[in-house]
Structure 1
């Protein structure tokens, strides 16, 4: 009887060991597949990250190129204003003065044209350096651009002179 019990126990242990071996082997294969899948995803993500880094570098270089002609990034032009000891953002101040000349009833006095579909207002300003500003203007139907020359005194009074202007043809659909 003990031989039978031992025989059944031995068969049970062998079956249990066989089950564990097969089950562990399946789990091992699944884990290896999962690891390979994750490695492939990691490699794909690394490639995507590299592409995005290249794109970011291109955008940074483009931004540097675009900000070249701005007062904020022009050390020589900013040095010109150091004698006035402005504490405010000078470019923003100049932009605000130009925008403040817009009116709902009259054309902006800086725009050298009379509004045809309404009043001409300055809608975009870029201060280029310590002497010039580039402006875009529109009356809702017509639009144009102009280069303004400006002078500023110690009291922050600005005087403007139109250097060049351009009025585009009306856009029709």
Structure 2
């Protein structure tokens, strides 16, 4: 099997697990590779689904979101919606909701934002700091845990639904160079 590559270097190591069904580990060497992974992920998800982005401050959650938005045709700035909690993007190829729940005081605040309607939409929804919305948020299709690893990052992608399993399988067998 050929794995997803960035500038000739394989980015994906597969770990198949009968319990979680699919886990993919990626180790992008730089920010550009992480943005490229976001592009591939958006395509593998067929531009819809719910993605949780876990990781400490500075791990690259918003960088990954930028790659997803680039795949959908957004060429403007992408900043973390830390203060607004959600940033909607209406693009020609689909709708994206980018949540950052870091400053969320209580998960019920999501109701006042109209998040229930957003999450029911057939959109691609990215949720940074999903633990802050625990008990209120629906289950994720893909859960991504980002961590610092030397000068680079480590991304562990886990499928949380059948849609997520299919997306990670498509990502794993991608043969194109994502540079």
Fold conserved between structures, TM > 0.5: no
Which of structures 1 and 2 has the bigger CA Rg? 1
Structure scoring higher RCO (CA < 8 A, sep ≥ 6) equals 2
TM (norm. structure 2) is 0.21
Q: Give the number of the structure whose residues are more often helix, by fraction.
A: 1
TM (norm. structure 1) is 0.21
